[in-house]
Every structure is written in C-alpha cells, then in structure tokens.
C-alpha cells in the first residue's frame, strides 16, 4: 500500500493542484562546472552506470529466462526502494501531489519496461555486439529530446563528447559487430531499446523536478514490475531459479543493478543535465567488459581498451562547464 506520505502531500515550490514550480533566483542557478556540489551527483552517476553494467553477468547466472529475470530485477528491488522513499519522505516532508508527477513517473516505468523487453528481444534475435551497440544510441535521443521536452540546451562540448563516446562504443564491440540480413529484426529491436531508454532518461529527469529520487524510483518501478510481470507469465514457464546461486544472482540484479544503479541514476538526474548524464550510459559497456573478463574469463583486446579510453575522454569533454538553469533538487 502506498501511504499518504508518498501520494498526497503538497510540494514545496509547487502550487496545490498543479506543477508550477516557484523557484528563487538563488536556487534557479547552479554552476555547471564540476563544482563541490556537482561531485556528489557526478560520482553517483558513474557508480550507477558501473552497477548497471554488472546486470548482464547477473542475468546470465540467474537460471531463468530473460523476461523473468527482468521482472525479478524490479520486483525484488521494491522493498529497498520503498525504504528509500520512506526515509526520504521523513527527511523532506513536503511532496508534490501525485497528480503533478503522475505522467512523468508512469512514463518512466513504462519506458523502462519497454527498454528491458526490447533489449532481451534484441539479444535473442541478433548478436550481443549488435544489440549492445544499437542500445548505446540512447544518448542521441536524449540529446535530441533535452531541448524539446525539458528546455535544456545541449552545448557543443556535449555533442563532441557524444561523438567520442559513440566511437568508443563501436570500438568496444567492433570486432564482433556485423551486418547480417538474418539479424535485421534483432538490430531493429536494439534500436527500439535505445529509444525506450532515452525516453526513460527524459521522463526520470522530468519526474525529478517534482519528486525525490526515492519516490521517483519506487513509483516508476511499481509500473515497470506490473508490465514485466504480465510478460513473464505469458512468455516463460520457469519463474524461479532452481538453485541458491540463481536466487543470489536475482538478488544481486535487484539490489546492485536496479535499486543501486538505477537509483543512483535517478538521484543524479535531479542535479545534472539529461544530455550529459546519458553519456555515462557508455560506462555500462566498459563495466560489462571488465566484469566479463573478471567473472566470465572473456578476453579484452586492444580495440576494447581504445574504446574505453575514448568513452572516458568523451565524458570528460562533455562535462558541464557553463552556468545552467535547473530547478532545485528535492
């Protein structure tokens, strides 16, 4: 049950019954360079990407189908997200009414369900390399949507950083990337994955303008779990792992990759521009390659090392430097 502390309290900075934010000039502007106040969300963003990058390893060890593992990823995270939302509500008693954040939160949950669904369909219908590269196009859609849906400018440094990150992403999977007519449907699913994840970024960024990170994650994850639960029941037979190690993998997927990784991302999106934050998605590929080497004994070649260096360089170039207008984080 969602208590009144999550749904009905009026927001500081919101008018009752609406989402118009009242922000003082002092709160409206933050230095966009990596100032003392920016290091915390920036660190959270990087750690979140690394935690999300561990998810393929846990999925492989989970002993259930991809749709079922996606469902348990979000469902098992709900108690931890509820606790975060509860602690957040106790610390910040003023909250936006549900009506003012309903659509951003609902869409965030729906888009993330779509992201996981099409990601798994892509893996099943094309090579992992192709699926991964197509999915990393998400920052392109975030950059295009930032101005249109969020009113956030995308500077030249972000565009240059995005191009470097795309080049790095291609190098990470370059030796395995291929164009095969039989895989075109799976490649298309990978492209759709990137659209859903890009839309998820924009929706979370919008939701964070009226809700704290814990509340945003808990409510949006409820939506995601509802969609994925129906899919798992319809598409797969085995709904629970047969061994304790499989259960442990699902718990790690829920706690580390979703509550931890996605939670840190939601926190950071309350403080940093969406277009820059989306670039850190590329660190997922770096983390996945590193963990594949450490846990699954998968080789890392020179191309992968060059790709990782290009991604780090792109993120460094794209980091915000000019003053930006943002709503105060909740």
φ, ψ dihedrals at 298, nearest 5°: -85, 135
Residue 236: the pLDDT is 92
User: Helix, strand or coil for residue 86?
Assistant: helix
CA torsion angle 274 36 328 157 (round to 10)? -30
Average pLDDT, the chain: 81
Radius of gyration, alpha carbons of the chain: 19
User: Between 300 and 229, where is the model more confident?
Assistant: 229
Calpha distance 137→118 (Å, rounded): 14
Contacts of 193 (CB under 8 A, 6+ apart): 115, 118, 119, 122, 131, 134, 135, 138
First to last CA, the chain: 23
The DSSP secondary structure of 70-119, one letter per residue, reads HHHHHHTTHHHHHHHHHHHHHH------HHHHHHHHHHHHHHHHHHHHHH
Dump pLDDT digits (tens) for 253-310: 999 999 999 999 999 988 888 888 888 878 877 776 776 677 766 667 788 888 889 9
Taking Cα atoms as reference points, which of 5, 59, 22 lies closest to residue 218? 5
Residue 21: the pLDDT is 33
User: Helix, strand or coil for residue 14?
Assistant: strand
Taking Cα atoms as reference points, which of 149, 74, 147, 80 lies closest to residue 115? 74
**Burial class of residue 219, CB neighbours in 10 A (0-12, 13-18, 19+):** buried
Q: Domain-by-domain residue ranges, the chain?
A: 34-322
Calpha distance 264→280 (Å, rounded): 12
Residue 329: the pLDDT is 54
Tokens of 120: 């798994």
Residue 84: the pLDDT is 95
Dump pLDDT digits (tens) for 40-78: 888 898 898 888 877 877 888 889 998 999 999 999 999
């Amino acid at each position: 049950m969602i208590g009144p502390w999550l749904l009905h309290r009026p927001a500081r900075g919101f008018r009752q019954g609406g989402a118009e934010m009242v922000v003082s000039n002092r709160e409206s502007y933050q230095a966009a360079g990596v100032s003392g106040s920016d290091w915390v969300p920036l660190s959270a963003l990087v750690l979140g990407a690394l935690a999300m990058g561990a998810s393929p390893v846990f999925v492989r060890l989970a002993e259930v189908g991809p749709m079922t593992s996606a469902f348990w990823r979000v469902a098992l995270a709900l108690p931890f997200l509820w606790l975060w939302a509860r602690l957040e509500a106790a610390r910040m008693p003023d909250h936006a009414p549900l009506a003012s954040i309903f659509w951003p939160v609902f869409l965030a949950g729906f888009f993330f369900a779509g992201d996981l669904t099409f990601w798994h369909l892509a893996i099943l219908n094309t090579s992992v390399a192709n699926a991964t590269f197509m999915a990393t196009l998400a920052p392109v859609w975030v950059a295009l949507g930032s101005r249109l849906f969020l009113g956030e400018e995308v500077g030249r440094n972000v565009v240059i950083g995005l191009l470097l990150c795309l080049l790095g992403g291609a190098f990470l999977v370059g030796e395995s990337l291929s164009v095969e007519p039989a895989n075109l449907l799976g490649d298309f699913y990978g492209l759709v994955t990137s659209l859903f994840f890009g839309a998820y970024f924009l929706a979370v960024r919008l939701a964070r303008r009226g809700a704290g990170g814990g509340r945003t994650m808990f409510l949006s994850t409820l939506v995601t779990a509802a969609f994925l639960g129906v899919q798992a029941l319809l598409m797969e037979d085995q709904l629970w792992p047969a061994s304790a190690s499989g259960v442990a993998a699902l718990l790690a997927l829920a706690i580390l990759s979703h509550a931890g990784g996605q939670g840190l991302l939601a926190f950071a999106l309350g403080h940093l521009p969406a277009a820059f934050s989306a670039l850190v998605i590329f660190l997922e590929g770096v983390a996945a390659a590193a963990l594949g080497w450490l846990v699954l004994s998968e080789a890392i070649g020179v191309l992968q090392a060059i790709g990782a260096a290009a991604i780090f360089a792109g993120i460094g170039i794209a980091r915000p430097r000019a003053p930006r207008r943002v709503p105060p984080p909740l």
